[in-house]
Chain A
Amino acid sequence: DVKVTQSSRYLVKRTGEKVFLECVQDMDHENMFWYRQDPGLGLRLIYFSYDVKMKEKGDIPEGYSVSREKKERFSLILESASTNQTSMYLCASSSAGARDTQYFGPGTRLTVL
């Protein structure tokens, strides 16, 4: 079974802090994605990566950056957290880009105070 894990289920940070969200997958997938999910807005793509050290902006990349130094790990970085980044963050991976099934982690609920 594909397993995608995220470093924290719940996280509380203060405005201005630098925040790291980690995602690890164990299926040797080339592609990894970061989404945020907000009530009434559904899932929105922040960034995705189709190979090590490769990244591409999604629909809402502002205020975020990503890092993919190893194939199995994809990190989302909030350089200076703000209250409007309070959200559920979901990581996903797939073997063939968006054409194929995406496997999701359990999510990290981030609260920025």
Chain B
Amino acid sequence: SQQGEEDPQALSIQEGENATMNCSYKTSINNLQWYRQNSGRGLVHLILIRSNEREKHSGRLRVTLDTSKKSSSLLITASRAADTASYFCATLPPGNNRLAFGKGNQVVVIP
């Protein structure tokens, strides 16, 4: 069943700006993962944050997790045209063995 929901659904920004997208979920989680998908391609894993973590960084990516609000945010700093893609959050509920993917968030970075 699908649980993660990204917001906003579509985002258009200028190159160099920061892009922020949010993901909300309904049940408790073991971890939350963010993936990127370039047009017509497979998904690429970006970052995984566990339920006992509040913030994680990877290069230009910053992910936060607020389990009390059941939400996560993905920040891409100093965006580049190559960041144009769809971004998905995926949650893993405790005791479950399958990820629940959100519907995706389309980001367009204008050069």
Contact = CB atoms under 8 A, between A and B. Distances in A.
Interface of A: 4, 35, 40-45, 48, 50, 56, 58-59, 88, 90, 92, 97-107, 109
**Closest 9 pairs (CB-CB, A-B):** A104-B42, A42-B103, A43-B101, A104-B43, A101-B45, A98-B99, A106-B42, A97-B97, A42-B101
A101 B43 contact: no
Contacts of B43: 43, 90, 92, 102, 104
B92 interface: yes
Contacts, number: 59
A106 to B, nearest CB: 5
Interface of B: 1-2, 30-31, 33, 35, 40-45, 48, 88, 92, 96-99, 101-104
**Residue of B1, B43, B88, B103 ringed by the most chain A CB atoms within 10 A:** B43
B42 A98 contact: no
A98 B101 CA distance: 12
A42 B104 contact: yes
B102 A106 contact: no
A92 B40 CA distance: 16
Given A102-B99, A103-B45, A59 B1 contact: yes
A41 B104 CA distance: 9
A58 B98 contact: yes
Nearest to B92: A98
Nearest to B42: A104
A40 B99 CA distance: 18
A88 to B, nearest CB: 8
Nearest to A100: B48
18 contacts: A35-B101, A42-B2, A42-B88, A44-B101, A45-B99, A48-B98, A88-B40, A92-B43, A97-B97, A98-B92, A98-B96, A99-B31, A101-B48, A102-B33, A104-B42, A104-B43, A105-B42, A107-B40
